């Protein structure tokens, strides 16, 4: 008992001493494995979300940022009211293999104060997406990191990703879909959207899943098995009460839209060296080139015209789900038992309103972005460009925004029908293989 107390006093003393130094100089090497006490054994994390000990904050994943001199960025969810100091524990794996953490493998660790960079956008909610930054010149070779508010806590380590810069990428176009929640079961629209993506040149789709309905579950499993889809578990509701809406004054909860901003930012870093471009849109939106056959041609042109642009913003246009194509050509009997919206039936588009802001979504080069919000980036390295709506726009089939407009006041926009032949057969195949038909 006495010994423990003594250890605590010595620990606090050492900490105070360290805090008196400037933080970039505060580096102390600790040997986590030297003691056989169970509380000293580091653990590798299992889920996507991990509590930061001694706080209400959460950490998500860790990435080396080569644009910031190799700083380690831990994407986190920070409770704005709590301002206690946080600490980084960076460890280098003794083995060459990063993920092997046998006894004694994490034997060199550096302890330093963390720098917390809260994103400027939180829509008023008490928890905000943040970057916890760790810079330790002594440990450029770090393979694992842990964040803590309490030095004596049992630590959980995250693997540091993006340790190498890559110049060529596995995918050219990846769609990041921020969150699925509340038993979302719009299966037909999702399968249609995935098949349209394929035809315009998307090779990968990433979805953060809090929960979904039984039919969307079947479709997700099909695309994951088929190889196009990565499903990232996102059990945010197990850690805090998330909001189902976007604005704190209007919607209850501790965090904007199930942590949409956290997942969007996580996706940027997860795919930084996997994909040339990322499309940051919702599950029911399609970023569609109108003047080019596919995204490859579109971006070839745009990037040639605007070589220093890394953020392209694309206007959203509403196709009311209350207005149907009169002919009923694409109301296929085999789809009638599949729950969800049939995109191909909704060919009427709402006109722009002069004095109303047209929300945009983003098509980015992930390596030029540091932090993003939903409709614009928050910190980026390159320039940004508003893509004209006749070149590329978002097809968004949803409840109308201008409810009073009759059919003849809307524009006919049959862009999706250009893909009809290939599209219908591939949608049928996907539904069949998912066990829906
Ligand atoms: C650390 O983990 C051990 C074993 O699971 C447990 O007995 C101990 O109470 C934990 N310590 C703290 C500070 O949570
Ligand atoms: C990406 O684009 C390049 C250049 O246009 C092309 O050579 C390559 O095959 C594309 N990669 C994929 C996965 O389609
Ligand atoms: C999505 O999350 C829910 C809730 O955790 C889970 O039951 C379901 O299996 C997940 N779906 C996929 C495809 O991972």
CB 159 less than 6 A from any atom of ligand 3: no
CA distance 275 to 206: 12
Q: Is the CB of 231 under 6 A from ligand 3?
A: yes
Cβ-in-10-Å burial (0-12, 13-18, 19+) of 385 comes to middle
Ligand in nearest proximity to the CA of 38: 1
158 CA from centroid of ligand 1 (Å): 19
C-alpha of residue 152 to centroid of ligand 1, in Å: 10
Give the C-alpha separation, 147 to 321, whole Å: 46
Please tell me the residue having the least CA distance from ligand 2 atom 5: 296
pLDDT mean for each 10 residues of the chain (437 residues): 45 41 36 37 79 97 96 97 95 58 63 96 94 87 94 92 97 96 96 98 98 97 98 97 88 92 98 98 96 98 98 97 94 96 97 88 98 97 96 96 95 97 97 96
- Cα(156) to centroid of ligand 3, in Å? 24
User: Which ligand 1 atom is nearest residue 153's CA?
Assistant: 13
Q: How far is the CA of 168 from the centre of ligand 2 (A)?
A: 10
Q: What is the pLDDT of residue 38?
A: 34
Question: How far does the centroid of ligand 3 lie from the alpha carbon of residue 238, in Å?
Answer: 14
Which atom belonging to ligand 1 lies closest to the Cα atom of 150? 13
Indicate the CATH number for domain 171-433: 3.90.550
Cβ distance 289 to 277 under 8 Å? no
If DSSP codes are grouped into helix, strand and coil, which group holds residue 75? Answer: strand
The secondary structure of 330-376 as a DSSP string is: T--GGGTTS-S--GGG--EEPPPPTTS---EEEEE-GGGEEEE-SSS
Question: Minimal CA–CA distance to 283: which of 302, 264, 298, 297?
Answer: 264
Distance 405 CA to ligand 3 centre (A): 39
Give the whole-angstrom CA distance, residue 392 versus residue 289: 4
Strand 43-44, strand 156-161: pairing: parallel
Extents of the domains making up the chain: 2-161, 171-433
Ligand 2 atom closest to Cα of 201? 14
- Look at ligand 2, atom 1, and give the residue with the nearest C-alpha: 172
Structure tokens at 395: 């097809």
| Ligand 2 atom nearest 203 alpha carbon | 13
Report DSSP state, residue 242: B
Residue 210 CA, closest ligand 3 atom number: 2
DSSP, collapsed to helix, strand or coil, labels residue 108 as strand
Q: How far is the CA of 2 from the centre of ligand 1 (A)?
A: 19
Question: Is the Cβ atom of 303 under 6 angstroms away from ligand 1?
Answer: no
CA distance 423 to 136: 52
Structure tokens at 362: 């983003």
């Amino acid at each position: 008992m006495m010994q423990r107390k003594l250890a605590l006093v010595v620990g606090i003393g050492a900490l105070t001493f360290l805090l008196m130094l400037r933080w970039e100089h505060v580096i102390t090497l600790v040997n986590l494995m030297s003691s056989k006490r169970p509380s000293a054994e580091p653990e590798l994390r299992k889920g996507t979300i991990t509590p930061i000990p001694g706080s209400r904050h959460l950490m998500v994943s860790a990435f080396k940022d080569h644009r910031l001199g190799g700083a380690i960025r831990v994407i986190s969810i920070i409770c704005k009211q709590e301002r206690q100091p946080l600490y980084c524990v960076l460890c280098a794996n003794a083995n060459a293999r990063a993920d092997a953490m046998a006894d004694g493998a994490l034997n060199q660790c550096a302890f330093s104060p963390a720098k917390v960079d809260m994103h400027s956008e939180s829509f008023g909610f008490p928890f905000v997406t943040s970057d916890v930054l760790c810079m330790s010149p002594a440990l450029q070779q770090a393979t694992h990191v842990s964040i803590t508010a309490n030095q004596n806590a049992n630590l959980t380590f995250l693997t540091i990703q993006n340790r190498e810069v890559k110049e060529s990428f596995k995918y050219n176009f990846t769609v990041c879909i921020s969150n699925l929640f509340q038993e979302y079961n719009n299966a037909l629209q999702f399968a249609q959207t995935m098949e349209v993506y394929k035809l315009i040149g998307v090779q990968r789709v990433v979805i953060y899943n809090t929960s979904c309905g039984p039919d969307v579950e079947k479709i997700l499993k099909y695309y994951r098995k088929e190889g196009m889809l990565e499903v990232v578990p996102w059990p945010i509701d197990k850690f805090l009460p998330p909001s189902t809406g976007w604005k704190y004054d209007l919607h209850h909860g501790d965090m904007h839209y199930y942590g949409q901003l956290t997942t969007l930012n996580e996706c940027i870093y997860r795919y930084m060296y996997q994909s040339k471009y990322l499309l940051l849109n919702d599950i029911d939106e399609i970023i569609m080139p109108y003047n080019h056959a596919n995204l490859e041609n579109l971006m070839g042109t745009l990037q040639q015209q605007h070589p220093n642009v890394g953020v392209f913003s694309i206007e959203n246009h509403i196709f009311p789900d209350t207005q149907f194509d009169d002919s009923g050509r694409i109301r296929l009997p085999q789809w009638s038992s599949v729950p969800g919206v049939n995109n191909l039936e909704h060919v009427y588009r709402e006109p722009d309103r002069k004095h109303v802001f047209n929300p945009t979504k983003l098509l980015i080069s992930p390596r030029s972005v540091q932090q993003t919000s939903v409709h614009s980036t928050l910190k980026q390295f390159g320039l940004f460009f508003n893509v004209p709506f006749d070149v590329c726009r978002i097809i968004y089939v949803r409840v109308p925004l201008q409810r009073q407009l009759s059919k003849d006041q809307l524009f006919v926009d049959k862009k999706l029908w250009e893909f009809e032949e290939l599209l219908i057969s591939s949608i049928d195949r996907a539904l069949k293989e998912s066990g829906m038909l």
